[in-house]
Homo-oligomer: A and B are copies of this chain.
Amino acid sequence: MTDNPEDNVTGKVEDWWKTQIIDMKPGEIRYRGYAIEELIGNVGFAEMIWLMMRGELPARGQAELLEIALMSAVDHGPQAPGIAIARMAATCGIGLNNALASGINALGDVHGGAGEQAVNFYHGIRSEMNNEANIELTVERALDAFFSSGARYVPGFGHRFHPIDPRATRLLELVDLAASTGHVTGEYAAIGRTVEAVLERIKGRRIPMNIDGATAVIYAELGFPAPLARGLFCLSRSVGILAHAWEQTQQGGRNKGPVPRDMTWTYTGHPPRKLPD
C-alpha cells in the first residue's frame, strides 16, 4: 500500500488521538486555528470557553450571555453535596485539585444534570412547535407526556429551599434584553415561561423556574447541545467548590466528618451477636 512502512505505524499511532481543538508544533500553539499569543489579551475567558467547545468565536452579545450563565451558578453553600464533599476532602490530606475533582465528580444526573435535562425538554417542545403554532398546547402535551411516563420533577422547575429563585427572574430579564437587541431569538425564554405557566395551571400552585431552568434557557438560546449544559454547569460550580475547599483548608481541621464529632449516627441493624461456632 505504501513504500514507507514506518510512516504507516507512526501515522497510525498519531491518528489514535485526533482533535480539531488544538494544534501544536515546538514554539507554536493554536486553538481552532488561532495562535495562542494572538488570543491572549484579545479574547476573554467566556469567549475562550465558547471557542474551545464550539470551534468558532462567539459574537459579543453571545459571549456576554454565556458569561452571565457561568457566573450565576457558582455556589449553593455547604449543604450542597458537591460543596460538602470538597470541604470534607480538603481536610483529608489531599491536594486542592483532588478536593476540587471530588466535588465535581458528584455533579451527576441528580446534582448536576437538571440543566441538561431541561435543555432536552425545551428542545423536545421546540421541535414539536414546527408542526404546531400554539405554544401553550405544545407545552401542555409535553408535560402530559412527561408526567404520564411516571416522572415527578420537571427539570429546571421548583426548588426545595427557595420559594422563588432570585437568580431565575434576573436571568430571564437578561435573556429578554439580549433578544431585544437580536443576539438571541427569545424562543426558549418563551418556552420556559410557558412551561412555568402551564405547570402552575396543572398543579394548582406555582412551581417557579429555578437556576437550572433559567441557565438551560440561555444555553438553548445560544445553541449549545444539551450535554454541554451539564459541562458548563460543572465549570461554573467549580468556582464555588474551589472557594469552599480553599476556605476549609484555611480553617484547618483533620478528617472532618459531616456532623459534629460527638454525634454519632443511628444504628438500625442487627443487635450484638456472637459468631456461630
Query: Which residues on A are within 8 Å of B, measured CB to CB?
Result: 4-6, 8-24, 26-49, 52-53, 55, 57, 67-68, 70-72, 74-82, 84-85, 87-89, 91-98, 100-102, 104-113, 160-167, 169-171, 173-174, 227-228, 230-231, 234-235, 238-240, 242-247, 249, 251, 254-261, 263-276
Contacts and interface: CB of A to CB of B under 8 A. Distances in A.
A92 B98 contact: no
A103 to B, nearest CB: 8
10 contacts: A9-B9, A17-B87, A20-B270, A23-B267, A32-B270, A48-B71, A85-B89, A88-B106, A91-B110, A94-B98
Contacts of A67: 44-45
B5 A48 contact: no
A72 B53 CA distance: 15
A102 B105 contact: yes
A111 B265 contact: no
B166 A42 contact: no
A210 to B, nearest CB: 12
A168 to B, nearest CB: 10
A170 B41 contact: yes
Given A39-B71, A269-B20, A269-B55, A260 B106 contact: no
Contacts of A12: 260
A37 B102 CA distance: 29
B96 A231 contact: yes
Q: Which 9 A-B pairs have the closest CB atoms?
A: A93-B109, A20-B269, A93-B110, A94-B108, A258-B258, A33-B270, A93-B108, A92-B111, A101-B105
Contacts of A29: 76, 162, 166-167
Nearest to A72: B40
Given A13-B259, A79-B257, 15 more contacts: A11-B266, A15-B266, A16-B260, A20-B247, A31-B74, A40-B72, A79-B264, A88-B258, A94-B105, A98-B98, A100-B234, A101-B104, A111-B255, A227-B246, A227-B249
A9 B245 CA distance: 25
A242 B16 CA distance: 19
Given A95-B230, A112-B92, A78 B265 contact: yes
